[in-house]
Homo-oligomer: A and B are copies of this chain.
Amino acid sequence: MTERVPYDPFSNPHPAVAVDVILFTIADGELRVLLIRRELPPFEDAWALPGGFVRADESLDEAAARELDEEAGVSVRWLEQLYTFGAVDRDPARRVISVAYFALIDALELSPRAGGDATDVRWCNVRRLPKLAFDHKQIVRYAHQRLRYKAEYAPVAFQLLPKDLTLSELQHVYEVIHGKALDKRNFRRKVLGLEILEPTGESRSEGRGRPAALYRFRRDRFRDLGGGVVLEF
């Protein structure tokens, strides 16, 4: 139980460190995650989360952002660390631990493009996942749960929308995240009561129907309550 000789990971076998990113978006009324197709073994040609090994000269956060950029061509405004998965056998070939991050993006902002070790990339409905490499399905489920949980108290939904937004758009995002309809009046009362939205004075006509007033998120009116460190780039 007690050992006198210190364990030195630089002269003994030890885990490698990877990061994986769960990138959520909303499109066509669905909550979707970004998947890439692996070019290399293990799990060659399988769908997986974008991610890769951490380099010696970058922080974990930087590694997550870099891998997302390299493999999927996506730059995000922020990333939040989710959990670190460290089961011994989660990679069949080697001992690898993975620090998972999650991020949200407005789907219209840009379209992903495969690169790096990825031969393909796609958005996938979070409730209809294909077979995924490693323990990535479990990681996505965990991320979805955290997203729902976090959406209860933090204005995460604003990351999924353009800067100027309508209350109906915002409500729609919450409905997709939670998977159920919300009452319009209660939703507006609650959101406006938070005093984190500022009317721009403008309005936007979305096809037919009455034009909706536009609002902007006041980041300075809000402080995160914990449960994760949000990193701004």
Tell me the A residues contacting B by CB distance below 8 Å: 1-3, 6-10, 12-17, 40, 52-61, 69-70, 81, 83-84, 86-88, 94-95, 97, 99, 115-117, 145-146, 149, 225-229
Q: Are B84 and A53 in contact (CB under 8 A)?
A: no
Q: Are A70 and B12 in contact (CB under 8 A)?
A: no
Q: Are B14 and A57 in contact (CB under 8 A)?
A: no
Chain B neighbourhood of A52, CB < 8 A: 6-7
Complex: A59 Cα to B97 Cα, angstroms: 9
| Nearest Cβ on chain B to A26's Cβ, whole angstroms | 21
A interface, over-half SS = loop
Q: How many subunits of this chain does the assembly comprise?
A: 2
Residue in B1, B10, B12, B145 whose CB lies within 8 Å of A56: B12
Residue in B2, B83, B88, B146 whose CB lies within 8 Å of A57: B88
Return the 7 tightest CB-CB contacts between A and B, nearest first. A60-B86, A13-B56, A9-B16, A2-B115, A9-B53, A84-B84, A149-B226
Q: A58's closest neighbor in chain B, by CB?
A: B88
| Nearest Cβ on chain B to A217's Cβ, whole angstroms | 23
- Could you list 14 A-B pairs, sorted by A, with CB under 8 Å? A1-B69, A1-B115, A7-B52, A9-B16, A10-B94, A12-B55, A54-B86, A58-B88, A59-B86, A60-B84, A60-B86, A61-B86, A86-B99, A146-B227
Chain B neighbourhood of A149, CB < 8 A: 225-227
Q: Are A17 and B145 in contact (CB under 8 A)?
A: no
Complex: A16 Cα to B9 Cα, angstroms: 6
| Nearest Cβ on chain B to A11's Cβ, whole angstroms | 11
Q: Are A54 and B94 in contact (CB under 8 A)?
A: no
| Nearest Cβ on chain B to A183's Cβ, whole angstroms | 23
